[in-house]
Structures are given as C-alpha cells and as structure tokens.
Amino acid sequence: MSGELVLVTGGSGFIGAHCVRHLLQAGYRVRTTVRTPGRQADVRALIAAAGVEPGEALSFATADLLTDEGWPAAVAGCDYVLHVASPVPLVEPRREEDVIAPARDGVRRVLAAARAAGVRRTVLTSSFAAVKFGQPGKRIFTEADWSDPAGGETMSAYAKSKLYAERAAWDLVAETAGAGFGAGPGGEGMELAVVNPVGVFGPVLGPQPSLWADLVGKLLDGRQRAVPRMWVNVVDVRDVADLHLRAMTDPAAAGERFLASAGGMSLPQLAALLRDRLGDAAGKVPTRTLPDWAVRLAARFSPRAAFVVPELGAPRQASSDKARQLLGWRPRDAEEAVLAMATSLTGRGPDT
C-alpha cells in the first residue's frame, strides 16, 4: 500500500479504466484525466463495475490531448504517469490526421508536463501496430521491430497514430537525454517505458469504444454474418493493466518497450470458441468463412477491408518473452480473454 500518486490519462477508456482499477487495488492514489468534468461520474461507474469503490483515492483533472491547457495541473504532485489516452476510431476517418494529431502531439504534451513536474517514470501505451507493418514475410516480432509505413502494406489511421506517437515519445527522450529526461535507472530525470499490446480482450466494464469489443459484439448479435481468415493476437485487458504496473515500478523496465500477447487464433477459430462455450448466447455467431479473394476485392473499396488483408493466412505473432523474463509477467491464456469479453457483453456481468 504505497499511497503514491499516479496519473492515468484516459481513465474512461477500456484499458485506462482497468489500469485505474488495478492501481487502486494495489494501494495507489490515482488521478485520471477527462476531457470534460461531466465524465467523472462515468469513470467512477466503470470502476464500481469492476468491484472497486475508489472513494477519495480517485481524483480527476480536466485536460485534452490537443491543447497544452490542463496538463501542468494534471501531473502536479504525481510520482508516475500512465499515458493511456489515444483516439480509437471504430471506422476509418476521412482525415487520418484527426486521429494522428491528438495521439502524436498529445504524447509530447504529456511527457513535457510530466518531466517539468518531476515525475519519476512515464509508461506509454503503444500498440503491436507500431511493430508489425511493412515487413513482408516476417512472422514473429519482438520489441526490436518497428512498423514501416512505406513498406507496401495498408496501415489504418489508428495504426499510424500509435506508431507516430511512440516514435515521438522516444524522439523526445533522445532529444532531451542530457537535460534530465530518460537518464535511466539510478540517474537524474524522468524515465520512459512503453507497453505494446496486441488485440486487447477481457471484461468490458462499460460502453468504452474498443475495436475488439465492437467485433465480438457484432459476432454475438449477428451483424457480422461471415468472418475472414484473419489472424488475431490476443491479450487480456487485466494483464495489460498488470504489465503497465510492472513497467511503472520495476527498475529493469526503464528505457524499454514490452510486447504484450498471450497467443492468438484465427477469426473462424474465435467464432467457433464462442459457439462452443457460450451456448444459446452465441446462437447468432456466424459459421461462414469469407474467402480470401472476397476480402481482397472488398479492400479496393473499403479501408476496413484493406486493414484485414495483411492479416490473412499465415499469422504474424508477437513474442512476449521479454516481458515474461524481465518483469515476471504471466498473462491469462487467449481463450480466457476472449470468453471474458464475450461474457461481459452478453449481460452476464464482467468477470473481473
């Protein structure tokens, strides 16, 4: 029960809410950002849905990734920052910069404010999307890999936003390494660590936008009538929150990035898992598989379909050996994560 103060940006989001809950259960005081004061009640409801009554241990700050205003007050007095907030569009935007700008520029705002406030370490939530694109033929990825937007693959605005935001964070560390930023264990200045989750599943606490909750919801209610042979790497949101806490406190995590994955399955396998394990609640889950040629044809006209094409066929997997070996991270298996999300979406209550 440390009582140290941690800022979590985006506490109303899927990952952010679980990070808040995890920190409170570990005895930390938590401050989280909301874009408008009216969202405070929503965040408290999410945490209560996870079985935690935060009381005075949870406080709020109003700040927006697109402006400087509010960030100095948000980080004031904090020992650590978990920068989780980032736009998560469920459809491809007309202007990709509408997604990229808040992610990329927001990182620089948060890190600059945290450094000025004397924050000990910031953990950035990045993505496997910052790792896997533009490397034809590669099937197993590690933290040494970086996506290449010029590599010939279609990258969504969201994928680009995560890549550019993480690059901006590490560039800022490099630019200011001699001025009290990113000095590493035992040195002066603020440290940075990065978590790169794959597809995040697990219990949904409320109506937060989530790419994978949207997909599982469409499978369960029949809106998704067929599934492509797309490979999905899976990790449970509870284990993502746990890895954030490990990256925040472990001296070995300073200056490192960590892929977070529990394994994976194809979408047809995921659909079959839902049908086999959820009974009547999965009665509308499709049994039909889309042929690859149909997905490729649709990709000529649909950005969403174009995003699926690189994931067809042979899987591209993320190695979590670094997180397991360096930080002792032990995630739930992929099937448990998928079923926990589906169960929470069917109204049976989140398995927290």
Domains and CATH numbers, the chain: 5-202+233-261+317-332 (3.40.50.720)
pLDDT recorded at residue 147: 96
Q: Mean pLDDT for each 10-residue chunk of the chain (352 residues)?
A: 87 94 96 91 90 93 96 97 90 86 96 94 97 90 95 86 97 75 53 97 86 93 92 97 98 97 96 96 95 88 74 87 98 98 80 57
Q: Which of 132, 162, 218, 322 is catalytic?
A: 162
Angle between helices 14-25 and 40-49 (to 10 degrees): 70
- pLDDT by residue (tens digit) across 57-114? 999 999 999 999 999 999 999 999 999 999 888 777 788 899 999 999 999 999 999 9
Tokens 């899927």 label which residue? 14
Ordered DSSP codes for 256-276: -EEEE---EEEHHHHHHHHHH
Mapped onto helix, strand or coil, the DSSP state of residue 278 is helix
Does the annotation mark 218 as catalytic? no
Q: According to the model, what pLDDT value does residue 299 have?
A: 79
Instruction: Give, in order, the Cα–Cα distances in Å from 4 to each of 73, 109, 130, 344.
Output: 17, 22, 31, 31
Q: Count how many residues are written for the chain.
A: 352
Cα 99 to Cα 43: distance, rounded to the nearest angstrom: 23
pLDDT of residue 302: 76
Give me 258's structure tokens: 């960590």
pTM, 2 dp: 0.93
